[in-house]
Amino acid sequence: LPSGEEAVGEAGGDGPVVTASAGNAGLGIAWAASVLGVHAQVVVPETASPAKVEAAVAAVLDRYTSALEQRDMSALKAVWPSLAGAQQSAIESEFGNARSISVQFINPKIVVTGSMATITGVRRYGMQTRDGQQLRTETTTTLMLRQQGNGWHIESVRHQAR
Digit-coded pLDDT (tens) for 24-67: 777 677 777 777 777 777 776 666 678 888 999 999 999 999 99
Radius of gyration of the chain (CA): 16
Residue 88: the pLDDT is 97
10 — pLDDT class (breaks 50, 70, 90): low
Distance CA 32, CA 132 (A): 31
Contact, 155 vs 87, CB < 8 A?
no
Q: pLDDT of 83-98, one tens digit each?
A: 999 999 999 999 999 9
Q: pLDDT of 106-123, one tens digit each?
A: 999 999 998 999 999 999
Mean pLDDT of 97-109: 96
| Arithmetic mean of pLDDT over the chain | 86
Rounded to the nearest angstrom, the gap between the alpha carbon of residue 140 and the centroid of all alpha carbons in its chain is 17
Contact, 138 vs 124, CB < 8 A?
yes
pTM: 0.73
Residue 138, strand partner residues: 124
Contact, 38 vs 67, CB < 8 A?
no
Residue 141, strand partner residues: 121, 159
Q: Is 121 helix (H, G, I), strand (E, B) or coil?
A: strand
Query: How many C-beta atoms lie closer than 10 Å to residue 69's C-beta?
Result: 19
Contact, 126 vs 146, CB < 8 A?
no
**At residue 132, does pLDDT exceed 80?**
yes
